Amino acid sequence: MQKVLIAATNSNCGKTTFTMGLLRALKRRGLKVQPYKCGPDYIDPMFHHQASGQESVNLDIVMASKEHVKDIFTRYSENADICVVEGVMGLYDGRDRWHGSSAEIASLLDIPIVLLVNAKSTAYSIAPLLYGFKNFRPEGCKPRILGVVFNMVGSERHFSMLKQACEDVGLECLGYLKRNEKLSVPSRHLGLSIAEMEKLENLINAAADEVVAHVNIDKIVNP
């Protein structure tokens, strides 16, 4: 059973869009995918369910014990081919510094991380940012970054500069998502109408197509 956590440098990097696209792409491969969401969020798990066909499970080490979270993760992953966890906010954003963050959950459950980076309006300057995320290790928290995916990429030349930044920092570049306003997630609220669900289904398929075209899924499934 493989597992991966989708984290980001900060909020609004496109974690949910990428997660939905990856879930649907893996489902298309015939894999049984078990989705999870860091924190108490209950809207994103609805999107996960739509994309994967499986109920998404919350992993929250602020309101629950670490032992309980470990048990939940293990129990729901028993029959899965791959587990995909969507992080919350930025990688190290927790209730108290990094405590309760995606990084702490990834460390607790030994889940490798795909780091999503919003590359809009930047290029090689992303290198020092990546260097910081690669080398920052607070005491007791040792997340493993499997690779980097860039979002909001404007062109192949733009991507080539971002890829060079990854190489110089020593992180593997796993691909990118193009800048596309059609891939924005609907506003979060308490429920989705039938019309909104149809729009969401179109978004999920479009995101999956983008992931299949430009992201190294094989490296995520078999690191």
pLDDT tens profile 98-109: 999 999 999 999
Residues of the chain below pLDDT 50: 190
Residue ranges of alpha helices (H) inside 12-65 are 15-28, 44-52
Residue ranges of alpha helices (H) inside 93-193 are 102-109, 126-135, 156-169
Cβ–Cβ < 8 Å for 15, 6:
yes
Residue with the two structure tokens 């939905």: 20
Q: What is the pLDDT of residue 37?
A: 98
* Structure tokens, 104: 């702490």
Collapsing DSSP to helix, strand or coil, 68 comes out as: helix
Bridge partner residues of 113 (DSSP): 5, 145
**Helices and strands per DSSP (H, E), number in the chain:** 8, 7
Find the helix packing angle between 15-28 and 194-214, rounded to 10°.
80
* Structure tokens, 116: 């999503």
| CA gap 87, 148 in Å, rounded | 14
Cβ–Cβ < 8 Å for 130, 34:
no
Bridge partner residues of 7 (DSSP): 115
